[in-house]
Amino acid sequence: MTARTRSFNEVLLSVENISLSFGGVKALSDISFDIAKGEIRAIIGPNGAGKSSMLNCINGFYHPQEGAITYKGVRRSQMRPHEAAEQGIARTFQNIALFRGMSTLDNIMTGRNLRMKTGLFWQALHVGPAAREEIEHRQAVEKIIDFLEIQHIRKVPVGQLPYGLQKRVELGRALAAQPELLLLDEPMAGMNIEEKQDMCRFVLDVNDEFGTTICLIEHDMGVVMDISDRVVVLDYGKKIGDGVPDEIKNNQAVIDAYLGVSH
Amino acid sequence: MFYREAGQFKVSYAADQAVFPIAQDRIAMLALLLIAFLVVPFVASEYVYRAVLIPVVILSLAAIGLNVLMGYCGQVSLGSGAFMAVGAYAAYNFAIRLPFLNPFVCILLGGFVAAGVGIAFGVPSLRIKGFYLACATLAAQFFADWAFLRIKWFTNYTPSGSINAPPLEILGVDLSSPTANYIVCLVFTVVLAIATKNIVRGHIGRQWMAIRDMDIAAEIIGVQPMYAKLTAFAVSSFLIGVAGGLWAFVYLGSWEPAAFSIDRSFQLMFMIIIGGLGSILGSVLGAAFIVLLPIFLNQALPPFGALFGWRISTATVSHFEAMIFGALIIFFLIVEPHGLARLWSVAKEKLRLWPFPH
Amino acid sequence: MGFFLEVLIGGLLAGVLYSLVALGFVLIFKASGVFNFAQGAMVLTAALALVRTLDIAQKEWHWPFWLALVAGFLFAAFVMAIIAWASERLVLRKLVNQEGIILFMATIGMTFFIEGLAQTVFGADVYPLNIGLPKEPIFILESVFDGGILVNELDIWAAVIAGLLVAGLALFFQRTRIGRALRAVADDHAAAQSVGIPLNQIWFIVWLVAGLVALAAGAVWGSKLGVQFSLTLLALKALPVLILGGFTSVPGAIIGGLIIGAGEKLAEVFLGPMMGGGIEIWFAYVLALLFLLVRPQGLFGERIIERV
């Protein structure tokens, strides 16, 4: 597969001059880039470059000291993580963050919690609206389970699953929210070739079938160059490159960062 | 042999999501309920009611309440005795200030008051976790101990601080016999247990468990920690408050603040650790175990000691009891954190395959 | 003014005693991340072992006081060593890598076990304890205030003992090889283990030191109130102290103890009458709770940064 060349015009999210520091440590300084609606956008960079911090800013877990984020035309400087979720931003984590005591099915059902509205009273009776709602969402979740090919582990507590499947369940949980913007933090880390191929297929299918915009962090350059539309490169909390995969491959600053030219 | 699910196909999601998806479980549960409601009243003696059945039934309800908070939502509470007290005293105050209300309505209202107080003491859980929260709930415990002893309005200015429950009746039918006491408590516990089971298997229950398993991830996928934690505190305190009302009105009849001391909080916590964190069935098993063990020890230890020429006093028996509880807690935490409920499901799993090992 | 000072000093001195109990918590929390609820039970057990040996040695064996005292302390220390060994071997080692809250509940189990065992073995009455500390109330600052300020000499001794203990512990932590190993374990026990620090041994030592601190607390509290079951309630009083001071800070335990001790006595005397009295029971908790809302990590605790 070669790099895809698609064009996008509508900007879904743009990051303007974001700076974030912890005490004296600067994690991000003056970062700006945008994510177009419908594209697959990759963030790459050496370890400690600030990639995860960037995602954490986008979904409201960290609050940058400077700069603003414009999402769907609304400019904001701060929001709570669950507000981000309500506005259609879902994500997965570098170190899997599943609910270990719950089954695969329950984990993915939790992804739909924002769409489930019945209150305590109906829940306690479990008839009428509560029961109907439960079945409705179960159907939606079963579609995701089929899509990710994890029918056989539906009722298994996720703590007992192997790593690769846990990653898949986590993707399922994020998809269950039917997000507009999906943030994937190293979705293929620690996987073998076969698992990586599966995961790439899922990411591309999500993008194609549901039209979900995807922003992902990944270390495997082969994968990044193959599946992403545009790439942004961070190093030591600064942006050193931004463009389509071919440009990035030939960008001297990026090559230096990866090969380790002394600063 | 007879515990087989072969041939039972689920054709709808509703069937798959049932509380007891396997027919044999449904039948067994139904049989158990029938026995509890229809057979027990004809065989139990007054002693069995007072010493075993009524305490087990009421404390099961309280344990279910604590399990909602600790087992499902992962918020440690050492203040359940306080919420029982709030339920009991609130029910009492409804009963004396609004005498036209039925005592059981008062108990339910007491549960709602307990839920409110639970929410108030749950607010710190939004900022603090783990044993910090445990300390905060301890504050609730000590505050309640003090308030019901010193603020005379709560006890309607009775000089001794000891208060009496109103007579128990529904529509003129007297319910003061042990059998009636038992049935009433059983109705409360069964109905509320089913309601709780429904909540924990629905989306609110999943939110609680998400908070328990990984609160940060839960928030990022859109669970509102405030809503999830406070509903858990409210539901938990409601159940514990109703249990407190039943304990005071039905079991004790007249009581003092000491009836809901910190010892009660520890007792409830032991019930759910031994019975199984995050399990409704486990709460009931744990309550039964904790009520029965001291009775057993009191019967068994003195004769056992006599065999060796020791005289074992009741004080010694209570020390033994503490040691055994302590050891059991450690044992269950190390070996089987999901308690008796998990042992039960392992046994069922074995039974499904029997006589084959796999 | 004189009365206010008298209450304040009484409170501060009582606070020192809370600090003594809180110190034991801090030591174990620092080194093993365990919130040891059993600290109160350890105080009771140590005091019981001490007072019973003292009684028997004096009354039945007719040993001189000083010899009985030495024997009592040695025996109590031995009992603490057994508890330290057993909790490391039978509980901590089996629960390594579990969540803090599981360990916390396990120590509640230990509390019940130790209390039951200690009372079965040593008896469950109230035993007056005399270890030679003076108990006379004395008046100080008589030249400044009319009638002076009444303080209990025992409390002053308790403060001296607490001060010496803290100084000793600080030296132990900062200056000895074991102390350095302890700090390493506290920071990251997997990493400490990988550089060859024997984890189990370190845990044993920490629990032993906490046991000895419990012994000191038990001896002082026992002299003051008599050795009895209610000593375990002291452990509960130490919790608000910890919340104020932070769970990992030795100076925090001391200052937290002083604040709680003084605050509680002042509140009881000046606010109590307005609220029906007896507010000492919960005042410390509510104070700590309010404090938690403002500063969750305590006065001297480390700031918590959450990561995903």
B250 within domain boundaries: yes
B115 within domain boundaries: yes
Q: A56–C305: do the CB atoms touch at under 8 Å?
A: no
pLDDT tens for residues A43-65? 998 888 888 889 889 888 888 88
B252 within domain boundaries: yes
Q: A106–B209: do the CB atoms touch at under 8 Å?
A: yes
Residue A132 sits in which domain range? 104-177
CA gap C63, C54 in Å, rounded: 9
Give the closest of B142, B328, B330 to C91, CB-based. Answer: B330
Torsion of CA A110, A112, A113, A114, to 10 degrees: 150
A21 has pLDDT over 90: no
CA gap B110, B115 in Å, rounded: 9
C87 within domain boundaries: yes
Q: What is the pTM of this model?
A: 0.90
Distances in Å between the Cα of C100 and the Cα atoms of B275, C97, C168 are 20, 9, 28
Distance from CA of A184 to the nearest CA of C (A): 13
Distances in Å between the Cα of B274 and the Cα atoms of B83, B279, B283, B343, C1 are 21, 11, 8, 11, 55
CA gap B268, B79 in Å, rounded: 10
Residue C137 DSSP SS3: strand
Give the closest of B206, B213, B220 to A113, CB-based. Answer: B206
Chain B residue closest in CA terms to C116 = B319
C253 has pLDDT over 70: yes
pLDDT tens for residues A116-175? 888 888 888 888 788 888 888 999 999 999 999 999 998 888 988 988 889 999 999 999
B169 within domain boundaries: yes
Higher local confidence (pLDDT), A36 or B5 = A36
Chain C residue closest in CA terms to B133 = C289
Residue C23 sits in which domain range? 2-235
Q: B199–A142: do the CB atoms touch at under 8 Å?
A: no
Phi and psi (nearest 5°) for C126? -95, 120
A6 within domain boundaries: yes
Q: A61–C308: do the CB atoms touch at under 8 Å?
A: yes
Give the closest of B124, B328, B329 to C289, CB-based. Answer: B124
Give the closest of B199, B210, B217 to A120, CB-based. Answer: B199
**Domain boundary residue, one of A177, A203, A231:** A177
Give the closest of B269, B315, B330 to C106, CB-based. Answer: B330
Task: Over range C177-187, report the average pLDDT.
Answer: 81
Q: How confident is the model at residue A3 (pLDDT cuts 50, 70, 90)?
A: very low
ipTM for this prediction: 0.87
A97 within domain boundaries: no
Per the structure, the count of domains in chain A is 2
What integer pLDDT is reported at residue C33 of this predicted model?
77
Q: Which of C101, C305, C308 to mutate to test the interface with A (most CBs of A within 10 A)?
A: C308
Distance from CA of B195 to the nearest CA of A (A): 4
* Residue C294 near chain A (CB below 8 Å): no
**Domain boundary residue, one of A162, A177, A192:** A177
Give chain C positions within 8 Å (CB) of A63: none
| Helices marked H in chain C | 2-32, 39-59, 65-86, 100-122, 153-175, 177-187, 189-194, 199-225, 231-245, 250-266, 272-275, 280-294
Torsion of CA B26, B29, B33, B38, to 10 degrees: 80
Q: Tell me whether strands A74-76 and A66-71 are parallel, antiparallel or unpaired.
A: antiparallel
A197 within domain boundaries: yes
B4 within domain boundaries: no
Distances in Å between the Cα of C85 and the Cα atoms of A8, C80, C172 are 68, 9, 20
What integer pLDDT is reported at residue A262 of this predicted model?
58
Q: Residue A74 pairs with which residues in a beta bridge?
A: A71
A115 has pLDDT over 80: yes
C282 within domain boundaries: no
Residue B163 DSSP SS3: strand
Give chain A positions within 8 Å (CB) of C305: 22
**CATH number of the structural domain spanning residue B128:** 1.10.3470
User: Contact, B247 vs B88, CB < 8 A?
Assistant: yes
Per the structure, the count of domains in chain C is 1
Do A149 and A198 have their domain in common? Answer: no
Give the closest residue to B132 by CA, choosing from C297, A15, C13.
Answer: C297
Exposure string over C265-293, b if 16+ CB within 10 A, otherwise e: bbbbbeebeeeeeebbbbbbbbbbbebbe
Q: A116–B278: do the CB atoms touch at under 8 Å?
A: no
Contacts of B73 (CB under 8 A, 6+ apart): B208, B209, B211, B212, B228, B229, B232, B236
Work out how many CB contacts closer than 8 A connect B with C: 128
B19 within domain boundaries: no
Residue B68 is classified by DSSP as I
Give chain C positions within 8 Å (CB) of A61: 308
Q: B220–A91: do the CB atoms touch at under 8 Å?
A: yes
Contact residues, chain B to chain C, C-beta under 8 Å: 74, 76, 124, 127-128, 130-132, 134-136, 138-139, 142-143, 145-146, 149-152, 216-217, 220, 262, 266, 269, 273, 315-316, 319-330, 333-334, 337
A46 within domain boundaries: yes
CA torsion sign for C191, C196, C198, C203 is: negative
**Domain boundary residue, one of A125, A158, A177:** A177
Do A70 and A196 have their domain in common? Answer: yes
C8 within domain boundaries: yes
A231-240, B262-271, C13-22: the lowest-pLDDT one: C13-22
Q: C305–A22: do the CB atoms touch at under 8 Å?
A: yes
Work out how many CB contacts closer than 8 A connect A with B: 110
Distance from CA of B238 to the nearest CA of C (A): 23
Distance from CA of B342 to the nearest CA of A (A): 13
CA gap C306, A62 in Å, rounded: 10
CA torsion sign for A60, A66, A70, A74 is: positive
pLDDT tens for residues C107-160? 999 999 999 999 989 988 888 888 877 777 777 666 666 666 777 777 888 888
Residue B172 sits in which domain range? 45-353
Per the structure, the count of domains in chain B is 1
What integer pLDDT is reported at residue B132 of this predicted model?
79
Give chain B positions within 8 Å (CB) of C90: 330
Do A137 and A170 have their domain in common? Answer: yes
Do A82 and A205 have their domain in common? Answer: yes
Task: Over range C294-301, report the average pLDDT.
Answer: 72
Average pLDDT of chain C to the nearest whole number: 83
B14 within domain boundaries: no
Q: What is the pLDDT along chain B (358 residues), one digit of tens a residue?
A: 567 677 777 778 877 777 787 778 888 888 888 988 888 888 888 888 999 999 999 999 999 999 999 999 999 898 999 999 999 999 999 999 998 899 999 999 999 999 999 998 888 888 777 777 888 888 889 888 888 888 888 888 888 778 888 888 888 788 888 999 999 999 999 999 999 999 999 899 999 999 998 888 898 888 888 999 999 999 999 999 999 999 999 999 989 888 898 889 999 999 999 998 889 999 999 999 999 999 998 888 888 888 887 777 888 888 998 999 999 999 988 888 777 888 887 887 777 777 777 6
Q: A97–C305: do the CB atoms touch at under 8 Å?
A: no
What integer pLDDT is reported at residue C305 of this predicted model?
58
CA gap B128, B217 in Å, rounded: 17
Give the closest of B204, B216, B222 to A177, CB-based. Answer: B222
B112 within domain boundaries: yes
Do A118 and A244 have their domain in common? Answer: no
Do A184 and A79 have their domain in common? Answer: yes
Chains that touch A (3 or more CB pairs under 8 A): B, C
